[in-house]
Structure 1
Amino acid sequence: MSSDAPELIEPAPTTAGPRLLCSILGHETEAEIAAALHHLRHHGAVEYLRLTAPDLERRRLRVRSDGGTEYAIVLPRDQALTDGAVLALDDHGAVVVRAGTRRTLTFRATTVQSGLRLGFLAGHLHWASSFDGDQVTVTVEGADSDYLDRVADLIASREVTPVERTFAGPDVTA
C-alpha cells in the first residue's frame, strides 16, 4: 500500500441500547419546568412517550418515543408515571409522558379573515394542528391556558369560538 493512499478505518460497532430513564423530575405544569419545556418545544426538542393506562402502573418498561428514540424506564417504587410526568430535561431536550389519547382544543373561526389569523397564529407558534373547514384543532402539549391565552383577543372579539376540548387525563391548567 502506498503512503499516499488514505487509510480506511472501519467505524467501531455500536451496541448502544435504549436510553435509561430512572426518575420523574417533575410535572410539565410546574412553573420552572413549564418554562423550559416551552423553550424546547419551539426548537422541536421535546419527545413524548405515549403510554396506555396499564403502562402507567408499571415501574419498568421499554418504549419508543414519538421521535423514534428507544427508552428503558426504571422507576423507584415511590414514583408513579402520570400524564405530564417529565422523565428527562436539560438544555438540549426533554422527555414527557403522554397517557391515553391526545389532548386537543378545537376552535371555530367566524369569518375567513379570523380563520386566516387563527391559522397564521397556529403556524407561527408551531402548534401541532389540523384544519377542517372553519375549525382548527390544536394538540395541547402543556397547560391548555397557554393556548387559550394566545387566542384570548380573538375569542374576546368573537372572531374565534372555542368549540371542544378533549383531555386524556385531568384538565391541566396552570
Structure 2
Amino acid sequence: MTTDLPRLEISTILGSAHDDLHDAVHALEHRGRVEWIDIPQADAARKRLRATTDKRRDCLIALPRSATLVDGAVLHMTDDLAVVLRVDSGARLVLVPHDLQSALRLGHWCGNLHWKVDFGPGSMTVLLDGPEERYRERLRDLETLAGFHIREESAEEAEA
C-alpha cells in the first residue's frame, strides 16, 4: 500500500525516547505526531534496513558502524514529527513502584539479581531471560519490603 507521506532517509540516532529526548517525544505524542517503527530483536544489529512506520511512512535506515539500534532510539525529530524505534526483545514484566522508597528498593533488588531493566516514567520494564514464573517468584520475596505491582498487558497492548 502506498502513502503520500514523504520517505525518510535516516543516517543517525538522535537520542533516546526513554532518556534525553523523553519530554520532547512525549509532547509530540500528545499531539499525535509520533510514528513508530517496530523491528524484531534480530534486526537490531543491522546497520542498513528499510522499514515502515505505523503510519505507513517508508524509511531507509543507513547507520554508521558505531551506531546501535535500541528500543526507544529516536531516528527523526522535527517540531512536528518524531520517529521512534521499538525493538521487540521478547517477554517482559512492567513493574510499577507505589512510592519513591519502593522504587529504590525495587531498583536495587533487580540490580542485585543482574536483571536487564529499562526505566520509563513511573515504571521499570524487566526483560525476561527465562521463564516468567521464575521472575515472579523472586519478586514475591520483595513484596514485604516494597510496594509495587506488575502491570498486566491489556489485549490492545499485546497486539501493538
Say whether the fold is shared (TM-score over 0.5): yes
1:143 corresponds to which letter in structure 2?
A: G
1:29 aligns with 2:22: no
2:33 matched residue in structure 1: 45
Alignment of 1:105-120 (within 5 A): none
Task: Specify which of 43, 62, 86 is matched with residue 98 of structure 1.
Answer: 86
Distance 1:103 1:75, change over 3 A: same
- In the alignment, residue 84 of structure 1 is paired with which amino acid? G
Give the deviation of 1:162 after TM superposition: 3.9
Give the TM-score taking structure 1 as reference length.
0.51
User: Is residue 2:151 matched to residue 1:164?
Assistant: yes
Q: Distance in 2 between matches of 1:45 and 1:103?
A: 27
Larger radius of gyration: 1
Q: How many residues matched?
A: 104
Name stretches of at least 5 consecutive residues in structure 1 with no aligned partner.
1-15, 108-141, 148-160, 167-174
Contact kept? 1:87, 1:95, Cα under 8 Å: yes
Q: Secondary structure at the match of 2:122?
A: helix
Report if the CA contact (8 A) 1:62-1:70 is conserved: yes
Corresponding residue for 2:128?
none
CA deviation after TM superposition for structure 1 residue 35, in Å: 1.0
Q: Does 1:82 align with 2:59?
A: no
Q: Which amino acid aligns with 1:28?
A: A
Deviations along 1:13-42, one digit per CA (max 9) or x if unpaired, are xxx9731011000111224x1111111000
Q: Normalising to structure 2: TM-score of the pair? A: 0.55
Q: CA deviation at 1:55?
A: 1.0
Cα–Cα, structure 1 residues 34 and 60, in superposed 2: closer, same or farther, change >3 Å?
Answer: same
> Offset at 1:59?
0.5
RMSD: 3.1
- For 1:90 and 1:65, locate their aligned partners in 2 and report how far apart those are by CA, in whole Å: 16
